[in-house]
Amino acid sequence: MLSWFVMPLRVYNEPYRYKFPVVTILDMVRAQRILFDRLGIHEVHAVIGGSMGGMQALAFGVFFPNFAKKIISMATTSATQAWAIAFNKVAQEAILKDPEFKNGYYDPEVIRENGLSGMAIGRMAGHISFLSHQSMERKFGREYKRNDGLYELFGKFQVESYLEYNGYNFTKWFDPLSYLYITKAINIYDLSRGFDSLEEALGRISAELYLVGFEKDILFLPSEMETIASTMYAIGKENVDYVEIKSDYGHDAFLVEIDKIEQYVKDAL
């Protein structure tokens, strides 16, 4: 597996662009582990994360089984499935096909100033996957922008205005190539890679494992979290607990509805 510390040196003081190797979730965890060692931290009470952070938390449990006493992983999966990969594909293609992306040889300062339309469109798709039908309806319904006429061709519903604002604002502070590399890391994530099975991978976890799924999460279904728990039980591992939170917010519930997970996390810690 590729590790951060063996990556090639920057050549001629130029950005890596596409020359930078693909980074995996395990690379991220190994890099953090190296940092902890340098800081003299060889054991922690808990590792906690949601979404891609949840992937990293699980990887800590599998690949560094003696590092954390507790692992709390939320709104994630043991391997990214087709639905999530498809949303990321929309974002990747939108970036790559934007002329201002310039095949990766854009000027970062120009992007910070002007944004990148392709990346904004991709981010809009991402936002749709972060919410749910119910939360969209509750948040926006069919409300129309007050200053726009209903029959104006480019008049907007509130949900359209929301997606535009968040999409275009995002591109002024997040680098397009970084976004491509991060979505690639998410897409190829598979906790069982390098093992004969998921059972073998999960069998390495010695920490207390707490799994949290969210009812209306359409990006990483709660059933994907439940599968991790049932697999652990099937191989005789009892150091796992799974809870599904009743929520219609969607994937972002772990960031927004803190009150619904607060007591569970406190008890786990």
Q: Which of 27, 98, 217, 252 is catalytic?
A: 217
Band the pLDDT of 150: cuts 50, 70, 90: confident
**Pair 77, 215: CB distance under 8 Å:** no
Q: Which of 27, 73, 132, 251 is catalytic?
A: 251
Is 259 a known active-site residue? no
The residues spanned by each domain of the chain are 21-79+191-268, 84-185
Q: Which of 51, 73, 129, 132 is catalytic?
A: 51
pLDDT of residue 8: 46
pLDDT 10s digits, 100-134: 999 999 999 999 999 999 999 999 999 999 999 99
84-185: CATH class: mainly alpha
Torsion of CA 121, 127, 133, 137, to 10 degrees: -90
The mean per-residue pLDDT over the stretch 213-234 comes to: 97
Question: At residue 3, does pLDDT exceed 70?
Answer: no
pLDDT of residue 151: 83
Give φ, ψ of 73 to 5 degrees.
-120, 125
Task: Just give the CATH number of 21-79+191-268.
Answer: 3.40.50.1820
Is 178 a known active-site residue? no
Is 51 a known active-site residue? yes
Question: At residue 6, does pLDDT exceed 90?
Answer: no
Question: At residue 89, does pLDDT exceed 80?
Answer: yes
Cα angle value 166/189/58 (rounded, 5°): 95
